[in-house]
Amino acid sequence: MQGAEKGQSARLDGRDLRIGIVQARFNDALTSRMAQVCTDELLALGVARKHIQHVTVPGALEVPVALQAMADSERFDALVALGLVIRGETYHFELVSNESGAGVTRVSLDHHIPVANAILTVENEAQALARVEEKSRDAARVAVEMANLLDELL
């Protein structure tokens, strides 16, 4: 929910973390903004620019396969999925939303790596504009927090 109380974050120290970002290019003006905001937040959290790898894919359905390749490489402490699916006139919106979300979750669970899912699913461009920056910052923070948590637990 927009503006929801998120509680107090745990350890948000990004030093020594390696983060991979996969950005869907569909709705490129907004997803490129998401990538910039996410990267800026990772840098603010202490992640070194050289430890951030950003790749792009055609759309939200392709995000999970790129995440999977990054997870397979075992070079990353956490991953971020960025994309934007805006409802259209057909069932395709539900298919893309559901399948991309399920694919992102599967990568995380199968590889035991945190994946911050910031593939936005919205009704219209106004909703997207209202969420792009906050969700992108949130994704960076989730990636760092979860990477640190898993490091402590494993």
What secondary structure letter does DSSP report for 59?
A: S
Residues 56, 101, 130: CA angle, nearest 5 degrees: 75
For residue 143, give every residue at least 6 positions away whose Cβ sits within 8 Å of its Cβ, in sequence order, or none: 17, 19, 42, 78, 79, 80, 114, 115, 116
Strand pairing category for 19-24 and 52-57: parallel
The Cα–Cα gap between 16 and 8 comes to 22
Of 51, 54, 92, 111, the active-site residue reads 92
Q: Is 92 a catalytic residue?
A: yes
What value, to the nearest 5°, has the Cα angle with vertex 139 and ends 42 and 128? Answer: 120
Catalytic residues: 92
